[in-house]
Structure 1
Amino acid sequence: MLKSRMTSLVSSSCVEIVTMSLYRNTVWLLKGLQEYTKGGYEAAARSFSEADLEVAVSGRSFIITGANSGIGKAAACEIAKRGGTVHLVCRNEDRAKEARKDVVEQSKNENVHVHLVDMSNPRKVWEFASGFSQNHNLHVLINNAGCMVNQRELTEDDLEKNFATNTLGRKVNSCFSDLTLVIWTYILTTALIPTLKKSENPRVITVSSGGMLVQKLNVEDLQFEKGSFDGTMAYAQNKRQQVIMTEQWAAQHKEVHFSSMHPGWADTPAVRSSMPDFYAKMKNKLRTEAQGADTVVWLAISDTASRQPSGLFFQDRKAVSTHLPLASSRTSPAEDQKLMSELEELAVKFKS
């Protein structure tokens, strides 16, 4: 009898999970078709204030990760055009040099610097942050780097690749993996917060994704060791982690303005390579790289953005909810804190 009841409860729970997942995915897709496309951007842009980006940022220093293409490169161009000192953090030397050349040509600003960092190695992330802090000031950190790995793979440190890049901060082969990116984001941000606090009006912007709306934080399986692996869902889970990290940092470090954002569905090299089927179906509706980068730039330089409360999630220059209606994706403060504690424990292991 007890075994029968337990089987019934497990079966019922599985049905609820599948049903909720289907609900979230359906609502998110409909939302995306309306808001995340080029048409969604153009509709939102009608209410933008041009004056928000009419800002000179000469003398301010910006780090942008994943800046050799896509949204990162587009953001670098816009910031450089306004006089900012831009530090491009990249892995591939040839692509980084080409990106710098393009940014300088478009902006007429020579204060664009390349930093080559092996983001597949968390120790190198710590080393970069330490060296940068000793030699440069920093006003704005833009955590942009990342992409999707479609099968579960481990780094040489036994970190799941997606997590290591999207959360802790790790780049593997030609692409950021999800766990690695979360670790990369955590390490780089944590290491640079003391430097940011020395500057006027410091900011941290993390490029997340609206895809995180389909996921509830799961602190019991950060490296996707349980069940079958789904790269798309792992990516969404890591983007949820980044949003929660932003909220937690905002609460802990009042001197720094933190924000996360969704760039919409943009036509970038990462989308073309990681999501070929999606790209084939949606390519005529995707945003340009500049449109995807618009809110990144707005958060990085505008006075209007800095007056927003710290820790919010933005889409098209507006703070938006981090949860879909009735989606049961909220977590407890204890779960959020557990995420931060586990990231700290992992990150410290790689600190020299």
Structure 2
Amino acid sequence: MVTGGNSGIGKATAFEIARRGGTVHLVCRDENRAEGARGEIIRESGNQNIFLHIVDLSDPKTVWKFVENFKQEHTLNVLINNAGCMVNERELTEDGLEKNFATNTLGVYVLTTALIPVLEKEHDPRVVTVSSGGMLVQKLNTDDLQSERTAFDGTMVYAQNKRQQVVLTEQWARAHPTIHFSCMHPGWVDTPGVRLSMPGFHARLGARLRSEAQGADTVLWLALAPTAAVQPSGRFFQVIEISPVLYTKPSIEAVTHHLLTVGPQ
């Protein structure tokens, strides 16, 4: 399963898995764009086993209902949490949650937590979360997880969300030892998200940005390679190597408590 599989790193990842003969479940928000991506992946890979699920990850109840239906019909070996957003102006969901947090952190938490029983039934199950090296500029702020108390900066909020994903990955690894959990930095990649949300950054780096296929290399390794499965679970990877995360561990409990408070009951 690849979330955000209709563009960027997610699409490149989904295509390569399809090319190798895997069954792929695309979880996307925009149905028109997702249908186009699905058709393209099928045509270019020759693999018909590409399924599409339209889900808004910023809505925790919708995510939970999706998993309840999914597990009645499908099995799952690997979950790739790739979808994300960077909203540069403060925006709230219908549930009153900050949009970046709802999508990047809570959506990932609810989807992963709900799918753990499905994954635990399979051989060599894995969860890979696409984080970002941008999180290294942010210490985890457990007192303001929804960015309510300071001037809003979408880039820094995104970095904070990516830090939160690293924390969750460590916690999941401890709680569920039969599943291999990892998160990773894909490098700085020329994706639609970077072009739209960080135009200045995109213009400055230009040709130095990695391609979408290059950005998918560590994701694919973590999701598929036998050598990845023997790496310690719960770690942060960059360029197919474990990388330091530089934060204090006691903050893990604060993140989990907040997610349990705002998540679907």
Give the TM-score normalised by structure 1: 0.74
1:218 equivalent in structure 2: 141
Q: Does 1:96 align with 2:19?
A: no
1:150 matched to 2:88: yes
The question of whether the paired residues in 1 share the 8 Å contact of 2:91 and 2:98 is answered with yes
Q: Does residue 105 in structure 1 map to residue 21 in structure 2?
A: no
Q: What residue identity is the alignment partner of 1:235?
A: Y
Identity of aligned residues (%): 61
What aligned pairs does 1:1-352 form with structure 2 within 5 A after superposition? 63-167=1-105, 183-323=106-246, 330-333=247-250, 335-347=251-263, 350-351=264-265
Shift of 1:332: 3.7
8 Å CA contact 2:57, 2:108 repeated in 1: no
Q: Matches of 1:215 and 1:225 in 2, distance apart?
A: 16
* 1:216 shift after superposition: 0.9
Larger Rg over CA atoms = 1
| CA apart distance, 1:134 | 1.1
The answer on whether the counterparts of 2:128 and 2:183 sit within 8 Å (CA) in structure 1 is: yes
Q: How many Å apart are 1:191 and its aligned residue?
A: 0.1
Tell me, what secondary structure is at the counterpart of 1:130? helix
How far does residue 337 in structure 1 lie from its aligned partner after superposition?
A: 1.1
Equivalent residue letter for 1:343: L
Shift of 1:119: 2.7
Query: What runs of 5+ residues in structure 1 fail to find an aligned partner?
Result: 1-62, 168-182, 324-329
Unmatched runs of 5 consecutive residues or more in structure 2: none
Q: Partner letter of residue 312 of structure 1? A: R
SS at match of 2:208: coil
The whole-number CA distance in structure 2 between the counterparts of 1:238 and 1:97 is 28
Where 2:217 maps in the other structure, the secondary structure is helix
- Structure 1 residue 118, shift from structure 2 partner: 2.6
Q: TM-score, normalised by structure 2?
A: 0.98
Distance 2:37 2:96 in 1: 32
Any conservation in 1 of the 2:169–2:234 contact (CA below 8 Å)? yes
Number of matched residues? 265
